[in-house]
A and B are shown apart, each in its own frame.
Chain A
Amino acid sequence: MEFFFQQLINALQLGSFYALIAIGYSMVYGVLLLFNFAHGDVFMVGAYIGFFVSSALLGLNIFGALALPLSVTLSLVLVLTLIISMALNSIVGMLVERIGYRPLRDAPRASAAITGLMIGIILETGNLAILGPQRRSFPELIQSATINIAGVSFTNKKILIVFISILLTLALHQFVRHTKWGMAMRAMAYDYVVVPLMGISTNKIALMTFALGSALAAAAGILYGVAYPVLDPNMGILFGWKAFVAAILGGRGSILGAGLAGFLLGFIEIFVATIFPSTMRNLIAFGIILIILTFRPHGFFGEPFSAQLRL
């Protein structure tokens, strides 16, 4: 039983990364009908930004002067790292949209997809060229501790990672449901052609969508650094593809759908690996998803295309 609960928390942790990345995929697809295949690499960039921001904050040692206990200092650094890195990575996302995708707004969708793949390669190889091939160790921002709940022990890191990612997912969901920018995003997902007739610049909404998705990807990158403290330029590739699958599984444009599908993917992977040899993990996990999509091609919360995409 203890084993089961530990696997459960492992699945939730893995699902957290997929969920946060999948939401960015799903929002961009929902609002702009575009698969941003660079998104996995935007996650990687976010992790590196988090690495530099947290290292700088620790190096500045401004908190040492306050003579706070180490755990408080580290928590402050973690929170600041999240906020600053999410802001910086949203700028990265907006640049990707502005430079990469906006000129292709009226081009065939395939051109945009290929551009996304190219931007991804540029980010990976650019990282390699500038920072070199050595891996980076993410600073330890949480002092490891074991928490015992009802006889089952968990590490505090895993609990925190799951908590933060669920919190961010729900916060974004609220933003999209209840703010006027969120309303504009939902309107654009339904019928982007008439959005300008409301006096709304579709370019601004597109930038907003990329900014939000990239901010969440940065959070995923930092939490990834907390969990597995090694970063490398190719870390976004496999995570990106898996999150993409989760986004499709969740349904076009559905934030909660993408979040849930991310966690589901985490569960399938972890539990497949406990039953079958771990080499079969991806094979069986994606096999299951293929079967789900056969019966629900629009994903959990997606609808068959209702958008009026004619002019």
Chain B
Amino acid sequence: MLLTVENLSVSYGNIKALHGISFEVDQGEIVCIIGANGAGKSTTLRAISRMIPAETGSRILFQGEDLLEYPADKVVTDLGISHVPEGRRLFENLTINENLKLAAFARSDEDGIAADRERVFSIFPRLKERINQKAGTLSGGEQQMLAVGRAMMSARKLMLLDEPSMGLAPLLMMDVFSALKDINDEGTTILLVEQNARMALQFAQRGYVLETGLLVLEGPSQELLEDPEVKKAYLGG
């Protein structure tokens, strides 16, 4: 297993957001977690990238290493996990070029950085056209491309994606997901969380269903797509 999450609990103050969830992601997989707004999807990703603390008793293993021993910046640089956060969170005061450079801040393999840059531009040619434009002036689709591009520059083992479809028109959404498929084909494992359950399950091989801080269902995407409960709650009947 690439990533093993065991009994993960997270609280915001007195409010418990995750009640000890467990799941796994294997090398090379695309796995999705679907659920309604407030179910704890973003919290799960934030706990893995160490943006928020996990409670005692939680265990996260990445390639056999105890991930909770690492601070957030080392999760990226030492373990190789990138995170495209909710709402993209680009540095809108910086240009596309600067956003991409910043994502490679801690890397010193100049050749690798240059190769990854070229790969980002070949997947998202639009970013190259606007390389010196401030990220804040980009359209929603372009911002999502930059957010994914930034993650590609920072780490390539596991990519955590928080609602990549959010705010995108259907055609653009297809573009972004086909780019993600390419990235996955190149060896990056993907864990994504989505409210758009249909899109996520068509894209991923396996899925988990998160409800108010608990994982209630899991299985291959095809099974979940046909599950009556999932259909009723997440796929619009």
Contact = CB atoms under 8 A, between A and B. Distances in A.
Nearest to B99: A187
Contact of B92 (A180, A196, A197, A306): A306
B73 interface: yes
Contacts of B23: none
A113 B77 CA distance: 33
A183 B49 contact: no
Contact of B102 (A184, A202, A306): A184
Contact of B93 (A184, A186, A311): A186
A303 to B, nearest CB: 9
B101 A183 contact: yes
Contact of B105 (A180, A190, A193): A180
B72 interface: yes
Interface stretch (B29-37, B81-89, B120-128, B176-184): B81-89
Contacts of B101: 180, 183
Contact of A311 (B52, B73, B98, B154): B52
Interface string B64-107: 00000001110011000011010101011110001001110111
A199 B94 CA distance: 17
Contact of B82 (A189, A190, A197, A306): A197
B83 A197 contact: yes
A188 to B, nearest CB: 9
A189 B102 CA distance: 14
- Give the secondary structure class of A's interface: helix
Size class of A's contact patch? Answer: 20 to 34
Given A186-B93, A187-B91, A196 B76 contact: yes
A311 B51 contact: yes
Contacts of B206: none
A197 B85 contact: yes
B41 interface: no
B167 to A, nearest CB: 15
Contacts of A199: 73, 76-77, 103, 105-107, 154-155
Q: Which of B49, B50, B102 has the most CB of A within 10 A?
A: B102
Interface in A161-186: 180, 183-184, 186
B106 A200 contact: yes
Interface string B40-63: 000000100111100000000000
B150 interface: yes
A306 B155 CA distance: 28
A191 B102 CA distance: 13
A198 interface: yes
A187 B51 contact: no
A311 B72 CA distance: 14
Interface string B11-25: 000000000000000
A196 B87 CA distance: 16
A56 B46 CA distance: 53
A193 B89 CA distance: 9
Interface in B127-160: 150, 154-155
B101 to A, nearest CB: 6
Contacts of A200: 73, 102, 105-106
A196 B91 contact: no
B105 A306 contact: no
Nearest to A201: B73
Contacts of A202: 73
A-B pairs, top 3 by smallest CB distance, nearest first, are A196-B72, A199-B76, A199-B106
10 contacts: A180-B101, A183-B101, A186-B91, A196-B51, A197-B154, A198-B102, A199-B76, A199-B103, A199-B106, A200-B105
Interface of B: 46, 49-52, 71-73, 76-77, 82-83, 85, 87, 89, 91-94, 98, 101-103, 105-107, 150, 154-155
Given A187-B93, A200-B105, 18 more contacts: A189-B93, A190-B94, A191-B89, A191-B91, A193-B89, A196-B72, A196-B76, A197-B49, A198-B73, A198-B154, A199-B73, A199-B76, A199-B77, A199-B103, A199-B107, A201-B71, A201-B73, A308-B89
